[in-house]
Amino acid sequence: MKNYIIIILLLLPFIQLSGKTTILAKIVEKRVNKGKVYLEVNKEYLVGFHSFYASNFSKSLDSSDEFRFEVDDPADVYYIDIYFEDEQGRRLGLFRGGNLLLVQRNSIINLEITGNGLFLGKKNAPLIQYQATLATIWPKGRSEGSMNKEAFDFSIDALNLCLDRLDSVSKNHTEIPWDIRQQLAFNYKCYHIKALMNSISWKAYNRKNGTLQNVYAEEALKKMRINMPSNLWSDKTRLLYNYIDLCYLYNINSLQIERKFFVKGSDSLLLERIKKSYRGYLLEQLLLTFYLDYSRKYNSVAYLEGDGILKEIKDVDLIRVVKKSKNNSGKGAKVYPFIFKDTLGRDITSESLKGNVLLVEFWFNGCQPCIYLSRALKDILATYEGKEKIKQVTVNVDKDFSRFVAGVRTEDYTSPKTLDLHIGPDGYQHEMLLKYNYYGFPQLMLIDRDGNLVSAFVPKPTDDGKRKEFIQLLNSHL
């Protein structure tokens, strides 16, 4: 497939100077409610991992419906993510697909807040405007009923046209340094490639057992693998977070591994393949991606032998993420000292719950998987011999207390036997969730009688094959 070519990546040699970047924004539509602006500053960024690894800021809009951030530049070029959340909890982001904004030292960035999202104002520097243009280029979609050969061919042709347009835009913006221009365009290419590859792989295979279920989808995947940039040895991949994720996905796809439902042994195959296929800084990025992904899976090789994986990482910034991650796992350490409110508004502390083995479920109102997990736990604990030794706690991560109470009243997420707590106005951005790298829900945590963490990632009995592991873990700590 054309356009999957390897690009020589060079970083412009910036002069190392201290500086500040200013970010300005204002509401330009009256229908937008009051709210807060959240900013994440990433010196090192890998797709899909929590903002705990970034520097995080938030600020309420002032009386003029404006806000202003001044950020100490952590590097000459770095990524930021920024979004606005109104008082009803509606979140408005800058770019689709979770793509970030690359910022140069001493920049001034102007944003406008509308009912449809955040937008970059017209007074921004060329680098910012260039990214705003890249973010608007997407493959043409179509309604895909039966996934036949024609449908897959259409998808690949649409992707090729999208990649050509990205090349064209990159060539026309000559006011941007060539290397930065090329890297940003390449990063967006990788995003669109992995999006289609991920979509087609789900249609090609039964992801639970790896069997082929759509031959046309498999043919499309073969086309996409041609000239896949899997051997980019340059150490200049710091800005290419989508490329890193594409390499990771490519290896998962080739091994027909199911990323969501962990099957013992598949992680070892993936780790071995990554080590054989890459080297240098790119290998370190992929090893860290693997570790952060699989350390959350109980009894995986990363969970059991993480130190052996992490010792191969030498880059200073990646090591910073490693140290934070290892501190997060906290196995055997005191659990984060929390103070949460129950449905009556009373403070409940982690200290007051000592003496009990705590099974803690994190959920939010409207989360269907949370409902499924709650039902499964009710079913298991109803007949579990050691149920009297376990105190079941639920922690709601909605920012609004009333949504927590409404969710409890449905009894979809809780039961009369659970201690139901609300995490507070920080919601899913609460420091405890950031500490344990909780970026998706539901989550299960097990805490022993002394208040020590057994596991922040208890195997969920709703996942295929995990019911037995879940019960074994409970048995081992009662």
Q: Which residue, 309, 329, 349, sits at the end of a domain?
A: 329
Each residue of 333-349: pLDDT tens digit? 788 899 999 999 999 99
Distance of CA 222 to the CA centre of its chain: 27
Residues 405 and 445 both lie in one domain: yes
Residues 36 and 170 both lie in one domain: no
* 446 within a domain of the structure (yes/no): yes
* 131 within a domain of the structure (yes/no): no
* 9 within a domain of the structure (yes/no): no
Residues 346 and 458 both lie in one domain: yes
Residues 220 and 306 both lie in one domain: yes
First to last CA, the chain: 56
Residues 317 and 357 both lie in one domain: no
* 65 within a domain of the structure (yes/no): yes
* 436 within a domain of the structure (yes/no): yes
| Owning domain of residue 90 | 20-123
Residues 153 and 255 both lie in one domain: yes
Residues 188 and 306 both lie in one domain: yes
Residues 403 and 351 both lie in one domain: yes
* 5 within a domain of the structure (yes/no): no
Q: Which residue, 277, 307, 329, sits at the end of a domain?
A: 329
Residues 314 and 279 both lie in one domain: yes
Of the given ranges (30-39, 358-367, 413-422), which has the lowest mean pLDDT?
30-39
CATH number, position 88: 2.60.40.10
* 128 within a domain of the structure (yes/no): no
* 210 within a domain of the structure (yes/no): yes
Positive/negative CA dihedral, 89, 428, 287, 42: positive
Residues 313 and 259 both lie in one domain: yes
User: Nearest-CA neighbor of 180 among 134, 148, 233?
Assistant: 134
Residues 181 and 316 both lie in one domain: yes
pLDDT value, residue 135: 94
CATH number, position 460: 3.40.30.10
Each residue of 6-62: pLDDT tens digit? 322 333 333 344 588 888 877 777 666 677 888 889 888 888 776 667 888 877 766
Count of domains for the chain: 3
User: Nearest-CA neighbor of 401 among 443, 441, 351, 342?
Assistant: 342
Q: Which residue, 329, 359, 390, sits at the end of a domain?
A: 329
pLDDT value, residue 6: 30
Measured CA to CA in angstroms, residue 103 lies from 42, 191, 337, 428 at distances of 10, 19, 36, 26
Instruction: Tell me phi and psi for residue 209, to 5 degrees.
Output: -130, 5
pLDDT value, residue 328: 55
Peptide bond into 442 cis (omega under 30): yes
pTM, to two decimals:
0.79
Residues 401 and 419 both lie in one domain: yes
Question: If you average pLDDT over residues 420-433, what whole number do you get?
Answer: 89
Burial of residue 144, with CB atoms counted within 10 A of its CB: 0-12 exposed, 13-18 middle, 19 or more buried? middle
